[in-house]
Amino acid sequence: MKTGKRLIPIWAIFMTVAFLLTMAACKKEEAFINNDDTIIIGFVIETMTVERWQLDRDIFEAKAKELGAKVIVKNAYEDAERQDQIIRDLVAQGVDTLAVVAYDKESLADAVKYAHEHNVKVIAYDRLIMGADVDLYISFDNYEVGRLIGQSAVDNVPEGRYLILNGAQTDNNAFMLNEGCMSVLQPYIDAGKIEIVDETWVEAWRDEVSYQYVTDKIEQGIEFDVIIAANDRVAEGALNALSENRLTDQVYITGQDAELGACQRIVEGIQDMTVYKSISVLAEGAAEIAVKMAKGEDIGDCGLYDDGKYMVKYIAYEPVAVNKDNINEIIIKGGFYTIEQVYANIDKENWPEN
C-alpha cells in the first residue's frame, strides 16, 4: 500500500516561525560575554589621514601588544554613521574594550549604549562623546591648550587685530580650546587692545577649509596681525594663504599638536608656536587602562567631566607650549622628533649643537 507524504498544517508553520523569531530576539538581547583568553581592544579612529592619529595608533598598538592584548584598528573616514556601525560590528566580533576617537561628538551615544548592553567598556580617546556615559574620557587638558595658545599670542602681540580659526564644531575639544583661549583674550578685548576681526569653525579641522577662509578674508581686504589657529593642520592652511599673498612674516600664527611640519615651520620662522602633547603618555596610558578594564581591574583615581548628561571619569594630561626658543629642549631632546627631522629644511651649519 502506497503511503503519501504527511502534510504539515499551515498554522503549525506559522507557530514554528513565530517561536524561532521570538527566540532569536531574546538571544539578541542577551549580554555578550567574551569567553576566550585573549584580550581584544577595538580602536576606532575618525580618520587616518592625520599624522597625529597615525602616531596614536602605532603607540597604542605597541603598548597593548606588550601587555598581551590584540588591537583591531578601524578607520571611520570622517563619517559619523560609519563610525557608529564600526562600533557595533566590533562589539559583535567580541572585543573586550573599545577606544574611540569620535568624529562627531553628538552621534555615538546609542552606539556606546549598545556596547554597554553587551558588557563592552568604552573609552572616549582624546575626544569626548557627549551624553554617552562613557567609562572613561582620556585626553589632554584642552582648556589649558587654548590658554597656552592665547597667552602666547598676547605675549607677542598684546595689541592688534585677531582672526580666530577654531576647530570643528563636531569636536568638543574645539569648544574647550576656545574657552581656554578666550579666558586670556577677553580682558584685552574688553580693554580695547585686541579686536576680533572675524571668527569661524573649521570643518573637520581641514587645512583646505582654513586656506579658503583666510584667502577669502585677504581678498575682502580684511587685515589682521594674529591668526589663532586651533591646530597645526588649520595653521598650515592659513599659512598657505598668507604665503600666496606674501604676508607670512606679517602675521603671528599659532597651532597645536606639534606635527612635524609645524615644528619645521617653527625653526624656519614661518609658524610661531604650537602646543606639544605627549602622544606616548596618552596612547600608552589609554592602552594600559583598556587592558585593565578588560580584566575588570581598578583603573585608579580619575577626575570627573560633564558630558552634557552624565559626569564621566576623566583623565587629562598637561600640554606644553613650544616655540623657537624651547623646541630643541622639548621636541628634540625630549625624543619626539630627531634634529634631522626638525631641521630638514635648514642648512646644517645653522643647526643647534646637540
Q: What pLDDT does 353 receive?
A: 82
Residues 50 and 151 in one domain: no
Band (pLDDT 50/70/90 cuts) for residue 331 is very high
Residues 162 and 253 in one domain: yes
103 inside domain: yes
Q: How do residues 283-325 score in pLDDT, each as one tens digit?
A: 999 999 999 999 999 999 999 999 999 999 999 999 999 999 9
- pLDDT of 27 above 90: no
Q: What pLDDT does 51 receive?
A: 87
- CATH code of the domain in which 284 resides: 3.40.50.2300
193 inside domain: yes
What global pTM score does this model have?
0.85
Residues 196 and 340 in one domain: yes
Residues 60 and 163 in one domain: no
Residues 162 and 198 in one domain: yes
Residues 214 and 334 in one domain: yes
- Are 266 and 274 spatial neighbours (Cβ–Cβ below 8 Å)? yes
Residues 203 and 332 in one domain: yes
242 inside domain: yes
Residues 97 and 195 in one domain: no
**What gap in Å lies between CA 90 and CA 183, rounded to an integer?**
41
Domain count for the chain: 2
**What gap in Å lies between CA 331 and CA 275, rounded to an integer?**
11
Residues 337 and 196 in one domain: yes
28 inside domain: no
Which among 285, 103, 277 has a CA at the least distance from the CA of 177? Answer: 277
195 inside domain: yes
Residues 258 and 182 in one domain: yes
- Are 136 and 315 spatial neighbours (Cβ–Cβ below 8 Å)? yes
Residues 176 and 255 in one domain: yes
- pLDDT of 24 above 80: no
- Phi and psi at residue 115, to the nearest 5°: -60, -45
Q: What pLDDT does 37 receive?
A: 81
228 inside domain: yes
Q: What pLDDT does 35 receive?
A: 55
- Are 88 and 114 spatial neighbours (Cβ–Cβ below 8 Å)? yes
119 inside domain: yes
Q: What string of DSSP letters covers 323-343? A: -TTTHIIIIITTTSS-HHHHT
Residues 231 and 167 in one domain: yes
Could you list the residue range(s) of the whole structural domain that residue 146 is in? Answer: 142-276+324-350
16 inside domain: no
Q: How do residues 75-117 score in pLDDT, each as one tens digit?
A: 999 999 999 999 999 999 999 999 999 999 999 999 999 999 9
